[in-house]
Amino acid sequence: MRKEGLEPTCLSALEPKSSASTNSATFAGRRIITEKGSPDFPEAARFPRYNPENSSPSVTLLAVDHYENFPVASLLLPARMRAPIEAIYAFARGADDIADEGDLTDEERLGGLETYLRALDAIEAGHAPGGAFERIARAVREHGLPIALLRDLIDAFKQDVVKKRYATFDELLDYSRRSANPVGRLVLHVFGRSDAGSFTQSDSICSALQLINFWQDVAVDWEKGRVYIPQEDLEKFAVTESDIANTAVHSQWRELMAFECNRARGMLESGAPLGRSLPGRLGLEIRATVGGGATILDEIDRVGGDVFRHRPVLKKMDWIKIIARSIVKTGVRPQPHEPGSDPR
């Protein structure tokens, strides 16, 4: 999934991931691991990045570098809801890191992800999954979380191991449907919202954040052998993979990035009403998450699409402004789409 900044690639703490966030985006959540590794996946010790701010001595620590742009289970949420949401993001991010981080072989990565599927089998059968999976098992029991959504995440991460290019935008959206959208739906389930309208808007937000993470991290993903920009779009704008390798920022590249960001912005705007319709802190959290994604897009536009030399990140002052706008429910600032552009 990707992704290091948004990853989340979704609903309450975007991040969509740096190679597929998420944002991560992704909304995409990344992994929770112990310093000595998980009893279920000892290779976790190869990912020594932790965030003490999100943990206590008695709680498994959250990987820190994947939450660069968006807060996970942030203080905007009611305290009683943070544990299940942290469990969701820990599960997602843990599996995502197996697929994306460290120096494991593809066979080791796929084997590690099978461990997650076996844990889901155990949870679904009413058995204790053991080890690091007890937290997600508790969240499933207490909030009735659909196991199918968790399986979708693992399916997407397995795809990340073996698939490095996407021919069409629809193909990329199908990946986002499994890598990002489930996290948003799971968060809504935690809050007791399972209506079709909320799910549709959540999907728009989560997929948009995943895409934003891709455009933010073109260079990062290239180093990992991945290109998430659809091949049909590269061809349409006469941009080659050699241009990416050479970090070329010419007129064709600027037009391509403007097109991709415009399309992601349209999706973000279509889902933004969810943050204004949901009450209390969840609505505030979603508005802030959407605002964060919009700010990243603004920054990519500001640098003319040069994400190679100016990778956008959200700073403290950005978040102050985002939270302020979110409190007054201003949401995303719509921007007119270019004539002939594809805002889907």
**For residue 297, is it within any domain?**
yes
- Tell me: the pLDDT tens digits for 197-206? 999 999 999 9
**For residue 11, is it within any domain?**
no
Backbone angles phi, psi at 203, to 5 degrees: -60, -40
Our count of domains for the chain comes to: 1
Choose the weakest-confidence range: 150-154, 164-168, 174-178, 275-279. Answer: 275-279
List the CATH number of the domain containing 266.
Answer: 1.10.600.10
Structural domain span for residue 201 = 32-327
What are the structure tokens assigned to 263, written together?
A: 């399309």
What are the structure tokens assigned to 73, written together?
A: 């289970």
Closest among 43, 20, 4 to 159, alpha carbons compared: 20
**For residue 224, is it within any domain?**
yes
CA angle 271, 274, 276 (to 5 degrees): 125
pLDDT for the residue 317: 86
**For residue 342, is it within any domain?**
no
Higher pLDDT residue, 58 or 259?
259
**For residue 41, is it within any domain?**
yes
**For residue 27, is it within any domain?**
no
What are the structure tokens assigned to 74, written together?
A: 């942030």
Gyration radius of the chain's alpha carbons? 18
**For residue 2, is it within any domain?**
no
**For residue 51, is it within any domain?**
yes
Check: CB of residue 209 under 8 Å from CB of residue 267: no
pLDDT for the residue 74: 58
What pTM does this model have? Answer: 0.77
* Strand spans (E) along the chain: 32-33, 61-62
pLDDT for the residue 338: 46
